[in-house]
Every structure is written in structure tokens, then in C-alpha cells.
Chains A and B, each alone.
Chain A
């Protein structure tokens, strides 16, 4: 009966649920508790794909998320970018979201760029304003993005002289908060030019990319901040660095605790529901 009363009061006033959730999230964050993160296949395949890219391959990183999902996608972007900088690769940064160029600059300020030089090994080409530009870039970058975010003519950058068209890219990674960017890359770059695509996205959207992952159209799917923690572990195992760079690993206990809390609450609500139903049936019989 007590279970039933508690369940009813929680249903009518969810503030207790909010307080419990707040505690469950903040206490692990404040205490810096940590937990080992098992590596999922969707993260591992992307890591291995990048690890196996030949020297001087071109990788395009697309920042396609808004500021609202920075806690979820920014750690992914940081650690994947760091991995790219640790390897002898060329990197171009673009964005299909207008927040992307600024967030890409923030990521570039965070990672250790080693001995890589701007314009030679990497460049921030900025915002791709529309589908027309996206369709045109595989055949000619300077025509569609004439200036980089620093105001340099892209045609004069050594990296663009080496790779004047996106069709020469070996991988495009999109950090996408609404699926549209990933589908655009799959439609226009992967479909026509066979450029492999990888997706880093939020936990709610990631299952939607599994058909594309199964078919091989997407070479890796990063699930939320957890994938960033997994990726950090993989980079740490290989290069002995960067475990705490993205900050994702320190959120894993909070993530686990909040997930477990939701499971416990759903089970509790169902137990209360069954007790309530049995009680009402009993009272109907009498």
C-alpha cells in the first residue's frame, strides 16, 4: 500500500524525481568518480578505420551541431580531432550548421596540434551554406568555398592545392545533431563519389544510423558522450595520452547512475501499477 501511495504522489508531483535525478547526476560529477568503459563495435570500427588510413590521406570533419548539444557532441569532436592530429593525415574542417565554424575553432584551440601547420596540414573552410555548395565541393573546393575562416583564399592554401576537390577525401566525419547533415553527406558524397562517411551523433538519433552502418554506407557511429569516452580510452591505449582531454570519461558514472535510476523508476512504477490493479480488482469483488 505504501508503494502505491508513493507511486501516486510521484506521478502527481514529479519534483522528487527531479531532485533524485539531479543528485544522481551531480554527485558523481563533483566527486570525479570513474568507471571502465567497454568499447562498442560502432566506435571501434571508426577508430580502426582512421588508424588504418594511409599517410597523407585527406579527412573532412564536419561540425553540424548546434550549441544545445555541445555537452553531448563536443567531447566526440575533440577526441576524434585529436586522434586525426596524432596521425600523419590532412584535415579539412567544414560545417553544415552555422555554429560549426566557431565550434571547430574551439576544438582546434583544445587539441594538441603537434607539428602540423595551418594551411599545409589542416584548414578551417567554414560554413557550407546550402546543398548547392555541398554538391559542388566534390568537383571543386575553391569555386564553392573561396575563403577559409581566416580570410585566406582557399585556392592558395597548400592543402587545397594538394586536394582541390573533395572527391579525393578518404573519409568524412560528421558530428550531427539532427541527422540531416549525415544524410546529405551520404546522399551527395558517399553515394556519388564513394567517400566513406562516419557519424557522431546524440544517443537519441544514433540508432537511426544502424541500417547505414550495417550496409557499410557508414563506417562508424559514435553514440553520444559515451562514445567519446570509449574513443578516449582507445586513443589512450595507443598513444598514452588524451584520456581526460574531452572530459567524457569523467561523466560516465553520472551517465550510468542516471540510466540505472530511470530503469529503477520504471520498474517501481510498474510494480506500483500492478499492486494498484490487484487492489482495485479485490475491492471490486468484495
Chain B
């Protein structure tokens, strides 16, 4: 480990330890630790916001080189950069992320012109494209359920029966067929599902604690 790495590691350890203390222990004293913690967190916000800008610069560089060198997928790079910057421009003028919503620098007429463009791009294109792609999942689920849900063993039979009962219970019309479907669905979700999920949750939480401690003390050395 170089001196630079060691210094960095000491800073990481001290800050991590400091936040753990502030989170778990209220320390009354001359220095308001909570206020110090809040101020440091505000700095983190500034640093992370700068990271977004680096992301945009990096994306632009990669795709600009693609276009310049006419690589195989350069046409997609053109589309990506066009979409990125057109959305970026209208978003900073007319969106909840607008830089100047009160029209101090940007003229009100420009904001009024950009607002319907932003609304069209966002609500009519982005929302619909993304929703459509996500909706394809229904078709894959239907096809996959048909192919994979087979009674091959005791475990798969239990899974199949439980799955079908939850699917049936989730359908509002099932109560008209037999009200018991809802009761069974609620029971499966409240007991067997909860028990399994708790095991996963506790396992994951312990894993996170172990990973965090290892990161703080930089183990293995």
C-alpha cells in the first residue's frame, strides 16, 4: 500500500466510523456532531452531482469517437447523441429540473416554446416507449409459464400450486368464482412468503454489514 492509498484509507475509515457514531449515538457536547454530519452530507451531494456531468462528458466522448471513426454502430451513436442533447436542452429550459423556472435569464417566450416540446418528448414518446417495452414482459411471462411450470417433483408441484393460487387470488374476478381464492392468496403471502422473504432479508442484511466492515478496514489488507 502506498502512502497515498494509506491516507485515503484512513479518511474512509474515519468518515465511516464518524457516521456510524452519529447514526447510533447522540453525543451531547460543544460540537454538534449532527450538524457536522449534515454539512458533510451536503458536500457529498455536490460531489455526486459533478459525477453526473462526468457521465455525460464520457458518454459524449465515447459516441463522438464512434461517429468520427465511422465504426459499425456509428448511426446509433448519432441517434443517441441527438436524443441526449435535445432532451437535455429542453429539460434545462422547461421541466421540474429547469435551471431558470422563474425566467430570470431565459426569456419567458423560450420557456413557453419549450414546455410543449418537453411534454411531448416525455409523456408522448418516453413514457409510451418504455411502457411498451416493459409490457412485453407479460407475453414472455405467459410463454415461460406455459413452458416451465411443470409438475416434475414434489418441490415443483408445491411451487406450481402456490403460484397458481396466488395468480388466481390476484385476479379480481376470482372472488366471483370462489371467495376462498383471496383468502388463500392472502395466507400464502402473509405466512410462507413472509417466512422465506425474512430469511433472504436477514441474509442480505448480514452480508451488507460484513461487506461494510471489510470496506472500512480494507480487509483483506
Instruction: Say yes or no: B101 contacts A150, CB within 8 Å.
Output: yes
Q: How far apart sit A161 and B113, CA to CA, in the bound complex (Å)? A: 34
Known: A129-B45, A210-B189, A252-B172. A262 touches B142 (CB 8 A): yes
Instruction: Say yes or no: A40 contacts B145, CB within 8 Å.
Output: no
Instruction: Say yes or no: B134 contacts A214, CB within 8 Å.
Output: no
Flag whether A139 is at the interface (Cβ < 8 A): yes
Flag whether B38 is at the interface (Cβ < 8 A): yes
Contact with A along B131-146 (1 / 0, CB 8 A): 1011100110111011
CB distance from B116 to the nearest CB of A (A): 14
In the assembled complex, which residues on chain B have CB atoms less than 8 Å from the CB atom of A133? 41, 45
Select which of A10, A256, A273 is within 8 A of B174 by beta carbon.
A256
Instruction: Say yes or no: B42 contacts A151, CB within 8 Å.
Output: no
Instruction: Say yes or no: A71 contacts B135, CB within 8 Å.
Output: yes
Instruction: Say yes or no: B130 contacts A66, CB within 8 Å.
Output: yes
Instruction: Say yes or no: B190 contacts A214, CB within 8 Å.
Output: yes
Q: Which 8 A-B pairs have the closest CB atoms?
A: A101-B96, A256-B173, A151-B101, A259-B171, A149-B96, A132-B41, A68-B134, A132-B44
In the assembled complex, which residues on chain B have CB atoms less than 8 Å from the CB atom of A41? 186
CB distance from A189 to the nearest CB of B (A): 13
Instruction: Say yes or no: A71 contacts B173, CB within 8 Å.
Output: no
CB distance from A63 to the nearest CB of B (A): 10
Q: List 23 A-B contacts (CB under 8 A).
A: A14-B147, A40-B186, A67-B130, A68-B133, A71-B134, A101-B96, A102-B96, A106-B123, A124-B96, A127-B97, A129-B49, A132-B45, A132-B48, A151-B100, A211-B201, A252-B172, A256-B171, A259-B171, A259-B174, A260-B171, A262-B145, A266-B149, A266-B160
Flag whether A203 is at the interface (Cβ < 8 A): yes
Instruction: Say yes or no: A259 contacts B168, CB within 8 Å.
Output: yes
Add 19 more A-B contacts to A66-B130, A192-B23 (CB < 8 A): A18-B143, A35-B172, A35-B173, A36-B172, A68-B133, A68-B134, A70-B131, A106-B123, A130-B44, A207-B197, A214-B194, A256-B171, A256-B174, A258-B142, A259-B167, A261-B142, A262-B142, A265-B142, A274-B151
Q: How far apart sit A255 and B138, CA to CA, in the bound complex (Å)? A: 11
In the assembled complex, which residues on chain A have CB atoms less than 8 Å from the CB atom of B77? none
By a beta-carbon cutoff of 8 Å, the part of chain B in contact with chain A is 23, 34, 37-38, 41-42, 44-45, 48-49, 95-98, 100-102, 122-123, 126-127, 130-131, 133-135, 138-139, 141-143, 145-147, 149-151, 160, 164, 167-168, 170-176, 179, 182, 186, 189-190, 193-194, 197-198, 201
Instruction: Say yes or no: A263 contacts B167, CB within 8 Å.
Output: yes
Instruction: Say yes or no: A256 contacts B172, CB within 8 Å.
Output: yes
In the assembled complex, which residues on chain A have CB atoms less than 8 Å from the CB atom of B189? 207, 210
Q: How far apart sit A224 and B74, CA to CA, in the bound complex (Å)? A: 40
Instruction: Say yes or no: A269 contacts B150, CB within 8 Å.
Output: yes
In the assembled complex, which residues on chain A have CB atoms less than 8 Å from the CB atom of B44? 130, 132
In the assembled complex, which residues on chain B have CB atoms less than 8 Å from the CB atom of A252? 172-173
Select which of A21, A38, A150, A261 is within 8 A of B175 by beta carbon.
A38
Instruction: Say yes or no: B127 contacts A70, CB within 8 Å.
Output: yes
Q: How far apart sit A57 and B215, CA to CA, in the bound complex (Å)? A: 41
Chain B residue with the shortest CB-CB distance to A230: B172
By a beta-carbon cutoff of 8 Å, the part of chain A in contact with chain B is 10-11, 14, 17-18, 21-22, 25, 35-38, 40-41, 66-71, 98, 101-102, 104-106, 124, 126-127, 129-130, 132-133, 135-136, 139-140, 143-144, 149-151, 192, 203, 207-208, 210-211, 214, 223, 226, 229, 252-253, 255-263, 265-270, 273-274
In the assembled complex, which residues on chain B have CB atoms less than 8 Å from the CB atom of A266? 145-146, 149, 160, 164
Chain A residue with the shortest CB-CB distance to B91: A102
CB distance from B178 to the nearest CB of A (A): 12
Select which of A130, A256, A258 is within 8 A of B48 by beta carbon.
A130
Known: A11-B147, A132-B45, A211-B198. A25 touches B168 (CB 8 A): no
In the assembled complex, which residues on chain A have CB atoms less than 8 Å from the CB atom of B100? 151
Q: How far apart sit A158 and B194, CA to CA, in the bound complex (Å)? A: 42
Q: How far apart sit A133 and B40, CA to CA, in the bound complex (Å)? A: 10
CB distance from A285 to the nearest CB of B (A): 21
CB distance from A162 to the nearest CB of B (A): 20
Instruction: Say yes or no: B172 contacts A226, CB within 8 Å.
Output: yes
Select which of B41, B160, B194 is within 8 A of A135 by beta carbon.
B41
CB distance from A12 to the nearest CB of B (A): 10
In the assembled complex, which residues on chain A have CB atoms less than 8 Å from the CB atom of B142? 17-18, 21, 258, 261-262, 265
CB distance from A223 to the nearest CB of B (A): 7
In the assembled complex, which residues on chain A have CB atoms less than 8 Å from the CB atom of B182? 38, 40
Known: A14-B143, A211-B194, A265-B146. A37 touches B172 (CB 8 A): yes
CB distance from A28 to the nearest CB of B (A): 10
